[in-house]
Structure 1
């Protein structure tokens, strides 16, 4: 990777978790900044199966009708045009390095287990690494399927493109308790536990899922603080009839343009990775939207950097939207950078 010229600011995070305790980490600035990758790609060996000990995978379903946050009946939805699922699958990977009874850090993955194989390989390989600079904590992966379809007036759009804390509340109040209560997980790990430390809670997504990852941290940094956004949808895809339109009329576009939320808001305790592909969403959208999409990702990068966030940005040449090749080459580096400094 060749770094672009980019000013990097490092800071020590000192955050109260409870009235009587604090948590401190100092990840340093290594890996912060902007990087180009491509146009040639190959899979990182750390994302392949090297024959190391495997963790355990669990899958269960949650009915939308049982949710108090996303019950599939929102007024913004058009179920006749965009089908709403009746249930969503949740896939949990507990790495072999996890010790039962420990409060595990976690990574929430939007849109289900699409990248889970790569991430589980990274965990199998890098939790046992002898290189302190190339090591991952034994975090639990929780891949959550969206509620169906895409774009405005869809359940997925409602969940991922809405500028509010609704998705964060859904994950925090409903999904995490369901994981902790799952009978199969409990049978395998009787003392299974997840950390309550927001620095031990990461969120990852691509496209609208990437924007949703930032939105979860942006609105609820008291719950989620490590963010991965590949090909982020930092354009206006929020439902036109959503209540949030009154506060954020341009949806995720407001982060970098319009209201310039990143620039004008107080610095939040977040560690953020963002990515843009050279041809991001070009194949499906008109030329004007394409330029806006790539522009939005670039502007988000600039805003985060100028504000002073611990931030890593990757621009991938000759690639498209949520391109498999980008994940295969960069995801191990992304995860290693994201978790640097974790002292849980």
Structure 2
């Protein structure tokens, strides 16, 4: 297995054409297209993961798997993974996944000026203190609309055979419907707020499989979400169980689904590190290259005329904290620039 991912040169042959930014600068918030950021990454001034939130409050809601009709719970036996199908290298055989319970926390940021039918952003792998701090400042400064942030922890484990993998990597509307029917009603009751039903006022975000999940939510339930923020998106073959109708999992987004579909009303911000993941497990199906996958995403989004911005980030690994801390406020402003109440 590839333990140390190679460092990719954004100017190498075959990479997407992109604007090279001065080191330390970030892309403009009102321009679509491809940009190269880095290698220096300073935290954006809006980021403070330890200081108090001055303009909003945090609420926590505990959800148990026994309460869920959609995700009753699975897990993969510790220390096991799976075996590639000898007849199909794109299919992973997992025999050690079994039913299991879980608990998850939903952490909610509510701005002080929250109004009925407020916009919101749903984030994966919560809690996300960095997101809360960025929103706290950006909303107070009037640079983005006032919004609630709903940071949902995953159900445990990772990749094929796990609850997290089932939630985030499945190419279907299931996770969006889980959030819609089992998370949002609890948030409204517990926080005493009313969330918007307008898909233009709803965003989804995440890192790694959480990022591909954000796009899956907006693609399969475009009537619910129309804004996507993706860091190191896992647009690769990680869906399990294997679906012969979508044989490459999220790799199919840039291979066949987006190219062959009518453009949807989506605004998408995405980034990838120059040392992002490359063949991190035993599968060798030519669909486990995160850098290539994200560049292909930028290509197809451009070809189909989407409103999107892609940052190729030098001196950054998978879900790199420095990458996120530098770019998250800019990404949020880009994502919401066209929103009007």
Report the TM-score range of the alignment, normalised by the length of the smaller protein: 0.7 to 0.9
Rate the CA distance shift 1:218–1:283 in 2: closer, same or farther, 3 A. Answer: closer
Using the size of structure 1 for normalisation, the TM-score is 0.80
Equivalent of residue 315 in structure 1, options 312, 316, 328: 312
Q: CA 1:31 to 1:118, structure 2 compared with 1: closer, same or farther past 3 Å?
A: farther
Residues 1:52 and 1:216: Cα distance change in structure 2 (over 3 Å): closer
1:325 maps to 2:341: no
CA distance in 2 between counterparts of 1:66 and 1:121 reads: 31
Task: Give the superposition deviation at 1:256.
Answer: 1.1
Aligned to 1:88: 104
User: 1:237 Cα shift?
Assistant: 0.4
2:133 to 108, 114, 121: 121
Aligned to 1:37: 37
Q: What is residue 250 of structure 1 aligned with on the other side?
A: 248
Cross-structure match for 1:304: 301
* Structure-2 residue corresponding to 1:143: 151
Mapped partners of 1:52, 1:88: distance in 2: 23
Structure 2 distance, partners of 1:141, 1:127, is: 12
- Corresponding residue for 1:172? 180
- What CA distance in whole angstroms lies between the structure 1 residues aligned with 2:177 and 2:320? 29
Whether the aligned pair in 2 keeps the contact of 1:96 and 1:124 (CA below 8 Å) is no
Change (3 A) 1:155 1:145: same
Q: Report deviation, 1:96.
A: 2.3
Provide the aligned C-alpha RMSD in A. 3.0
CA distance, structure 2, for counterparts of residue 52 and residue 148 of structure 1: 28
Give the Å deviation of 1:210.
Answer: 0.5
Q: Secondary structure at the match of 2:258?
A: helix
1:281 aligns with 2:282: no
Query: Mean Cα displacement is larger for which, 278-287 or 116-125?
Result: 278-287
Distance in 1, matches of 2:251 and 2:195, equals 33
Moved more, 196-205 or 77-86: 77-86
SS of equivalent residue, structure 2 residue 182: helix
Indicate the residue corresponding to 2:218 in structure 1.
217
Q: How does 1:33-112 map to 2 (within 5 A)?
A: 33-48=33-48, 53-72=54-73, 84-99=100-115, 102-112=116-126
Contact 1:77/1:155 (CA < 8 Å) preserved in 2? no
Structure 1: runs of 5+ lacking an equivalent: 8-28, 187-191
The verdict on how the C-alpha distance between 1:53 and 1:79 changes in structure 2, with shifts beyond 3 A counting, is farther
- Displacement of 1:84 after TM fit? 4.7
1:263 matched to which residue of 2?
259
Distance 1:219 1:74, change over 3 A: farther
Which stretch of structure 1 is more off in the superposition, 85-94 or 324-333?
85-94
Contact 2:239 / 2:250 at 8 angstroms: preserved in 1? Answer: yes
Match of 1:159 in 2: 167
What is the TM-score when the length of structure 2 is the normalising length? 0.81
Moved over 6 A (4+): 49-52, 74-79, 286-291
SS at match of 1:177: helix
- Deviation at residue 181 of structure 1 after TM alignment: 1.7
1:181 matched to which residue of 2?
Answer: 189
Deviation (angstroms), 1:287:
11
Equivalent pair of 2:75/2:98 in contact (CA under 8 Å): no
Between the aligned partners of 1:78 and 1:71, the Cα distance in structure 2 is 19
Deviation at 1:31, TM superposition (A): 2.4
